[in-house]
Amino acid sequence: MLQLDLMVCGISDKFDEALEIALDTIHSGKAFDLFRNFIKYCGDISKLEEFENN
């Protein structure tokens, strides 16, 4: 799904290139960092911290 988002946003116009960008984002931890920041500002970060600590 992230690949299609990258294509729609104009970051990539080729599916295989978008897939590579998406996988790099996941493997580097950037995707989780963005998710963590989203939860921090919009939700209950204690639930995520509890999950991380287990």
Tokens of 27: 């493997």
* 5-40: pLDDT as tens digits: 665 567 777 778 878 888 898 899 998 998 899 998
Q: CA 1: distance to chain centroid?
A: 11
**15, 3 Cβ separation under 8 angstroms:** yes
**3, 26 Cβ separation under 8 angstroms:** no
Tally the domains of the chain.
1
Tell me the whole-structure pTM to 2 decimals. 0.63
Q: Which domain covers residue 19, as residue numbers?
A: 2-53
